[in-house]
Structure 1
């Protein structure tokens, strides 16, 4: 919402599977990192005066002719393929259902226009694949549909019922799968990118030199802002952050609003280091101060503003401590019904004092008995699977140490005692072949974006 984005099929677009098992968990996105406020933007009056002077506009505008409402309707004919309002609505409902979104009416309108653009791209991709005699067999689409259903713990028939209830359809999901597979095959046929051994070795040498340094997985939404538009853009980006807090996925907001070259990948910058020249200084400073799961912005840049999301961070070539497996003992006290906050606070204080005196797991049962508390053993718990706040508490603990008490009056207060810890082995550096594959994927995605841009430029698109 942590925004763990599933890797898209080489075209750089989120797949149906990515939607189903998605991506950016809303609760984590709702966190925001503190950041210095932007300089006061110009007033609306200043903007209007500057723009009027620049374009030589009259003060009182009079419109002639009739406004064409058709350009506002989310339907289109793409070359010879008709995209209807039903197509747009069903795809939108699919996204809402799979991501459990709660959109306001104005946000639905924004998403509809985004979906229309995506359907146009998808249609162009399928058309270009067919022009190159590439088709996708219906059995392959059946297999993909069944795979999505399994990931959602449903049978194919249950999945169809789920889609109908959500106002979507099997057809819209199958169409998206067809577009992704056809485009992927077209790229494999047309795009031949070879990364030489020398290039891969140079990348490997840089990774060796960077071992132990921090690396950050960053997403961005960037919007250009000339002097006359700073106030407008800044306010717009604040609304985007509010949509994230209300549950909108970061990657879809990036695809809708971002003006960066990363827009097609949902704003994904990949893993970056904060070396000079990698990120703008203002962004680098914000990222360095953030914790995974936080959003910062709007960050003022030379040419506009950015909102950044930190999905994760790690040390190059080092084991991720969050991959450690723990053996834990959980000690819990519950409060009688009717306990008020003052009583619960006093009881929790006694419990905290007693549990902080625990001398290793062997002493946990004695303290629990004295506190009339429940003890539950939990083995094989991966730190990275715990809630982010709890991860930060447990990460520095050694075997035999105890967490601070946490919980609520309703659910009780508990502590965790670390009884065992198996740290993951260092991942090591990638092989030459892995580097070549990764670089080839990156370059293929860039080539795919250019191909899609050319298809858009040459297409006949009529909005209805």
Structure 2
């Protein structure tokens, strides 16, 4: 079974998927509206196509149970993409056809295919190339919104960097952890059960060695390091939320946490390595400024997207 690499270079999105056969039912779908988002709709075929792409690209087994557990999250992703595209239109941000073509061609090239060949390969999975193109379109739209609206709001002062350096120095001799994480947000109480079930399912997939952690992080995590397989870099004791920090010290190298509930959602933590903090491995000023800026940008993005959801008309029909 051939494994392909899908990567959108502009956003550093890297994942893999296996070719799966199309079914007769997929070839003869009847269009049904799955959700309404303001003036746009998500069809049931949109939902099923994305579901199939995500399952295949994450390497998960395609089963009724997996689909049922993933359905709410996939629907949430598609709703967010509609809102991102609507916001780009409101801000008069254009997503050009050639930008989408370049993104698609980059992914094809990573797999040693021409775009035409890659479309044929996608078709063998039972997924239209339009499914991937729609995902690329939304990614481009959001990256432009972030550059125009959000990034200019991020400021990190020299004084803040000084405080961080003092904190790092105060932790010399203490343990720090090389961590990867999957973050699944819970934005309202109605999502609690579904997100918890998804977190449990992802954890089980990893523990049973069915799917590598990085693949699931790319597909499901909403954290800044998701596009890098969930990489969070080196973190020190006290740097993460208390709920995570208390678990971190109990994990051995290579160990995976159970889903951890924080105020914002569920986290799955993988400790890849440990070391003692020394003067030699304290980050530089530029690294600290960049890391703090990225953390703030991530929070700002999530807040902005939540505001879009709050102000939108969203109706689920399936």
TM-score scaled by structure 1? 0.51
Q: Is the 8 A contact 1:20 1:151 kept in 2?
A: no
- Establish whether residue 197 from structure 1 lines up as the match of residue 158 from structure 2: yes
User: 5 Å matches for 1:378-417?
Assistant: none
More deviation, 261-270/180-189: 261-270
- Establish whether residue 18 from structure 1 lines up as the match of residue 14 from structure 2: yes
- Establish whether residue 312 from structure 1 lines up as the match of residue 272 from structure 2: yes
**Residue of structure 2 equivalent to 1:438:** 291
Distance change in 2, residues 1:234/1:274 (3 Å): same
User: 5 Å matches for 1:43-442?
Assistant: 75-191=34-150, 192-211=153-172, 213-219=175-181, 240-244=202-206, 245=208, 247-248=210-211, 270=232, 271-275=234-238, 278-280=241-243, 282-287=246-251, 290-292=252-254, 294-297=255-258, 308-315=268-275, 429-442=282-295
Q: Is the 8 A contact 2:35 2:316 kept in 1?
A: yes
**Residue of structure 2 equivalent to 1:31:** none
Structure 2: distance between partners of 1:236 and 1:194 = 35
| 1:257 Cα offset (Å) | 9.7
| 1:165 Cα offset (Å) | 0.6
| 1:272 Cα offset (Å) | 2.5
| 1:451 Cα offset (Å) | 0.8
Aligned length: 282
| 1:94 Cα offset (Å) | 1.7
Instruction: After superposition, give the CA deviation of every residue in 1:312-371 in whole Å (9 maximum; x if it has no partner).
Output: 22547779xxxxxxxxxxxxxxxxxxxxxxxxxxxxxxxxxxxxxxxxxxxxxxxxxxxx
Q: Is the 8 A contact 1:216 1:272 kept in 2?
A: yes
| 1:284 Cα offset (Å) | 2.9
**Residue of structure 1 equivalent to 2:300:** 447
| 1:157 Cα offset (Å) | 2.0
- Aligned to 1:297, the other structure's residue is in SS state coil
Structure 2: distance between partners of 1:83 and 1:216 = 39
Structure 1 runs (4+) deviating above 6 angstroms are 6-9, 221-224, 233-237, 251-258, 316-319
Instruction: After superposition, give the CA deviation of every residue in 1:241-275 in whole Å (9 maximum; x if it has no partner).
Output: 333326356578789999xx969959959342234
Structure 2: distance between partners of 1:177 and 1:235 = 28
TM-score scaled by structure 2? 0.71
- Aligned to 1:178, the other structure's residue is in SS state helix
- Aligned to 1:18, the other structure's residue is in SS state strand
Question: Unaligned 5+ residue runs, structure 1?
Answer: 1-5, 10-14, 22-72, 225-232, 320-425
Q: Is the 8 A contact 2:156 2:289 kept in 1?
A: yes
Q: Is the 8 A contact 2:8 2:107 kept in 1?
A: no
Q: Is the 8 A contact 2:224 2:295 kept in 1?
A: no
Instruction: After superposition, give the CA deviation of every residue in 1:8-30 in whole Å (9 maximum; x if it has no partner).
Output: 98xxxxx6823349xxxxxxxxx
| 1:182 Cα offset (Å) | 1.3
Looking at CA atoms only, which structure, 1 or 2, has the larger radius of gyration? Answer: 1
Q: Is the 8 A contact 2:85 2:138 kept in 1?
A: yes
Structure 2: distance between partners of 1:127 and 1:254 = 26
| 1:136 Cα offset (Å) | 1.4
Distance change in 2, residues 1:250/1:112 (3 Å): farther
Q: Is the 8 A contact 1:20 1:148 kept in 2?
A: no
Structure 2: distance between partners of 1:283 and 1:136 = 43
Q: Is the 8 A contact 1:149 1:159 kept in 2?
A: yes
Structure 1: distance between partners of 2:284 and 2:278 = 15
| 1:127 Cα offset (Å) | 0.5
| 1:126 Cα offset (Å) | 0.9
- Aligned to 1:286, the other structure's residue is in SS state coil
Distance change in 2, residues 1:452/1:302 (3 Å): closer
Q: Is the 8 A contact 2:256 2:271 kept in 1?
A: no
CA-based RMSD of the aligned residues comes to 4.2
